[in-house]
Structure 1
Amino acid sequence: MTLRTTYLAASVAIFSGLLVLGWVTHGTGIVKDDPERNIVIPDELTSELQVKAAYDGEKIWFRYRWPVDRPSIFNDVLVYQDGKWETRGGEALGPNPDFLTEDRVAMMIDDGSVPLFGRYGGYITIGDGLTTFTGVPETEEERTKYLPSTRTDPNDFEALKPESDLEMLRAAGQFIDLWQWRSSRSNPIGLGDDGFVAEERGGDAGTGPYTTNWDSATEQPLYMFDPDVAGSAALSIDAVTGGDVGFNDIYYLSADTALPFDPTLAWKNGDTIPRRYLRPATGSRGDVVEPSVARWRNGFWDVTLVRDMDTGNPLDDKIFRDGGSYDLAFAVFRNASTMRWHYVTLPVSLGLEQPAQMVAERIESGTEPDWTQPWTEIKTFYPGQVTWGRLTDARQHPGADRIAQRVPVAVRHTEEQLALYGVQMEFAEEIRRQWIWTLIASLGLIVGLGINVNLLMRRNEEEV
């Protein structure tokens, strides 16, 4: 075998090896769950939400409908095990396998006072270093959403402006009204929850519809089920996680269903008590209520919330007025997922007798909506770990110049594109490394092909 033949065989082998390597590794090993980095990708990147609105000049109603294969009506619970009460459920990375994370719907509302919200929606509230983002250390206090205007450096969670500045921003309307409905922590007693997003995501003044059912001094619950009402002092964890406890059962603790906890009862392994005790909300936080208890039917949650148009709390709530225009953005928590593993929407305009994407129906004062108007269909999507700082940085986001020009996100992107972009940002480093390896392999293939062609041509010339 001549030296040239050896070179030819070697180059063919290298070329073939690089071709096989590129084929085998193309598109593999990148997008996969990585709980150690707080990465869990939903099976579905998009979903649907239907919304209607109605008002009578004094009250305003919103009705929401979204698909859920199995409703999750429990959140965190206390389970008796070998003489101790253990907490299960609540916050989890991605879907909770035991369905111990409640379903939720949330709605952000602005009246035009918050810059850019009507163009970019909830994206403007996602700063760097928020809880559950990859690489963010765990802290006792949750690092929540916030508005960029509340920071001296919009991309620094710790750069909070002085209290006097925050008060002026609030007085100028630079806060987002936040309504929430929770299947476990508010729905059973017919309540929503009223909050805000400004320097943080928090609850309005007053008390919310739930409190913690735990006595840290005795390390046991404060309340248990009233056996005369619920049939027993506790539920079974197997029945709870198996979906055998439903709406027609007593599955929540409140003044009507609970008694003070009795440690002398013969508690057995698997006995389960909710970790939350439900109560009437007070103050501004109790402004949002349900006209009736929401239900899951035929694969869909159907929820209606109502509030006074003018609550008398303009520093906590956005006031609705006849002829007004508003910007909304929604979040849906489904499949027993919470925190950032939700589905969000682009901003949606709302008009009260004004043209908009969604127009609220005017009804006669003192009556209830008949809901005969058509639904507004809204696409929801998984947002991933996309921060406002990344979106506005030209080094990280090619479209940053369009944001600087105030081009609305809906003009340039669909929800499907945004969901894929969110996933890409979760694996940005891995994708970059894969691209480099692909580039190296491609260059090797080009070089190998060139060598082969050159050797073959020279061999043919010698044979001639």
Structure 2
Amino acid sequence: MFLPRIGLILGSLLIAWVLMWFTQGTGVVQDDPERNIAIPDELTMPLKIQVAYNDEKIFFRYRWPAEAAYVYHDMLRYEGGQWVRYGSPPIGRDPNNTYEDRVTMLVDDGKVPEFARYGGYITVGANPRYFTDTAAASEVRQHPHLGEKLGASDVRKYLPQTRMDIADWRGVKDEETLQQQREAGYFLDLWHWRAGRSNAIAASDDQLIAEHRLGDSGRGPYTTNWDSENNQPAWMFDSEQVGIDALNWDDIQANRFDFDGLYYLAESFAKPFDPDHEWQEGDVIPRRMLREPSGSRGAISVAGGPARWQEGYWDVTLQRALDTGYPLDDKMFKTQGEYTLGIAVHRDSTGSRWHYVSHPYQLGLSREDTEVTAHHFNGEQPDWSDDWTEMTLFYPGQVNWPLLVSDAHAGAPDIEAGKPVKPRHSEKQLAIYGVEIQFNDEIISQWCKTLVLGLFLMLGIWFGLDRLLQVYVVRKTQGGA
């Protein structure tokens, strides 16, 4: 009887241990497109940056690793007699290679003090697009300011003080207050370089973050190539100028392109779309048409011509006037000035919130007491050295500012006390937190299951040892008699 009892006890303990093992974290962290969840293979990535300026312009150089360059963006494919769109913002990576690489940079001059402490987190408000709890498009369109005035159909980045309640995207402050905030400098300058929608014409986009992500005044570097009335492109390639009528779908799916060739449509070589042309299955026309930007929105350009990807790296240099003359749109740079930067990179044909972001970094012009120093030079273009500032960018997940300042976040008291994030959390920690927050309910559920089974295992061990001891005592007693 003694050995069978031992076998029964050990078998029960083994079953409990196996159940606990298989409920600990199994099946929790996984892609879930229906909830706008897609986890990148790498949670962090490196970025290098250099900054220089002369008497008129400032230059930012960015360099980051990428296995390939993705320059195709938002394409119309001819199939079954219709033009079908490919490249609307994907959940995670776009399987058709129709989403471009990008680098973006937020700049502040001290007028948005929270940005220097917490970086881009402060711009992510309640119910933003591509979060699991994203605001309904119909509700945004009906909003008197965001929908009816700005024409928005989703909630994008906004600053905390533009809302009456940070946890409610609907509570936009009145227009007089918003205007006063802009005049006081309460906005973030947004530099936005796109591999498909701007780089080919050596341009960048100039935007800003206030009560929404807004374009600067003037004309942007691209427009939408679509005739909604006839469900067809509005423009096509002018074959007399460039020798082609359309791109080829096979090239796009294989991500084949030549930086010196045509992978984009530009205003300078486009002509009105001809529906009677003999279109072939798989013909492709870009849904975005590039054009020369103007005004404040065209203030940023690519220095030295379009940027290139070579030998596994993008190398992008942007330039802009120190003072653009648009104080309501841009942050002006001055010698001995100090600024805060927040940089993000999209790579591997990903868009929207599937990017990598940086901690806030301090930039100084001709100052050595900041994390990034912009050195003054004479001449037209910087003579770059090998002196880089290295950063680690991280995947932020579905973490927004209302969450971080709420009771649900253990660090909320530190934020209230004004303690900055960088000394307290590494990029890897923030990336892991960004993943975990998307599975908070599942993790708690699994933790409870593990706890219950763990208690069962401990009780089983106690019960088993107690039974073994009783058997041992009885046998010892019987043997002694």
State whether TM-score is above 0.5: yes
Residue deviations 1:332-363, cap 9 Å, x none? 00000010000000001100012211100101
1:247 aligns with 2:269: no
8 Å Cα contact 1:57/1:322 also seen in 2: no
Identity %: 46
Q: Which residue of 1 aligns with 2:342?
A: 329
Structure 2 residue aligned with 1:219, among 224, 227, 231? Answer: 231
Instruction: Name whichever of 13-22 and 304-313 sits farther off.
Output: 13-22
Determine the C-alpha separation between the residues in 1 that align with 2:465 and 2:389.
62
1:61 aligns with 2:59: yes
Determine the C-alpha separation between the residues in 2 that align with 1:411 and 1:268.
58
8 Å Cα contact 1:166/1:199 also seen in 2: yes
Q: Which residue of 1 aligns with 2:372?
A: 358
8 Å Cα contact 1:58/1:309 also seen in 2: yes
SS, match of residue 96 in structure 1: coil
Determine the C-alpha separation between the residues in 1 that align with 2:26 and 2:55.
57
Structure 2 residue aligned with 1:377, among 377, 390, 395? Answer: 390
SS, match of residue 377 in structure 1: strand
SS, match of residue 301 in structure 2: coil
Residue deviations 1:198-223, cap 9 Å, x none? 10111111221111111111111111
8 Å Cα contact 2:77/2:83 also seen in 1: yes
8 Å Cα contact 2:23/2:450 also seen in 1: no
Determine the C-alpha separation between the residues in 2 that align with 1:351 and 1:119.
16
8 Å Cα contact 2:105/2:344 also seen in 1: yes
Aligned residue type for 1:389: P
The residue correspondences of 1:30-429 to structure 2 (distance < 5 A) are 30-139=28-137, 141-291=153-303, 292-354=305-367, 355-364=369-378, 366-372=379-385, 374-393=387-406, 395-429=407-441
8 Å Cα contact 1:81/1:269 also seen in 2: yes
Determine the C-alpha separation between the residues in 2 that align with 1:230 and 1:335.
29
Q: What's the TM-score once normalised by structure 1's chain length?
A: 0.96
Aligned-residue RMSD, C-alpha: 1.6
Could you tell me how far 1:42 is from its partner in structure 2?
A: 0.2
Q: Which residue of 2 aligns with 1:440?
A: 452
Residue deviations 1:111-139, cap 9 Å, x none? 01102111110011111200110132541
Residue deviations 1:87-124, cap 9 Å, x none? 00131000111210000000000001102111110011
Could you tell me how far 1:229 is from its partner in structure 2?
A: 3.3
8 Å Cα contact 1:214/1:275 also seen in 2: yes
User: How many pairs are equivalent?
Assistant: 460
Aligned residue type for 1:257: F
Instruction: Name whichever of 86-95 and 8-17 sits farther off.
Output: 8-17
SS, match of residue 45 in structure 2: strand
Could you tell me how far 1:10 is from its partner in structure 2?
A: 5.7
Could you tell me how far 1:227 is from its partner in structure 2?
A: 1.4
Could you tell me how far 1:5 is from its partner in structure 2?
A: 7.7
Structure 2 residue aligned with 1:15, among 5, 13, 16? Answer: 13
Aligned residue type for 1:66: W
Determine the C-alpha separation between the residues in 2 that align with 1:19 and 1:231.
69
Determine the C-alpha separation between the residues in 1 that align with 2:25 and 2:228.
50
Determine the C-alpha separation between the residues in 1 that align with 2:293 and 2:256.
29
SS, match of residue 411 in structure 1: coil
SS, match of residue 269 in structure 1: coil
SS, match of residue 60 in structure 2: strand
Determine the C-alpha separation between the residues in 2 that align with 1:192 and 1:136.
28
8 Å Cα contact 2:125/2:160 also seen in 1: yes
Determine the C-alpha separation between the residues in 1 that align with 2:323 and 2:301.
14
8 Å Cα contact 1:148/1:155 also seen in 2: no
Question: Structure 2: where are the runs of 5+ without partners?
Answer: 139-152, 477-481
Determine the C-alpha separation between the residues in 2 that align with 1:288 and 1:82.
41
SS, match of residue 464 in structure 2: helix
Determine the C-alpha separation between the residues in 1 that align with 2:469 and 2:155.
66
Determine the C-alpha separation between the residues in 2 that align with 1:248 and 1:319.
34
SS, match of residue 267 in structure 2: coil
8 Å Cα contact 2:58/2:319 also seen in 1: yes
Determine the C-alpha separation between the residues in 1 that align with 2:323 and 2:447.
55
8 Å Cα contact 2:236/2:273 also seen in 1: yes
Could you tell me how far 1:282 is from its partner in structure 2?
A: 2.0
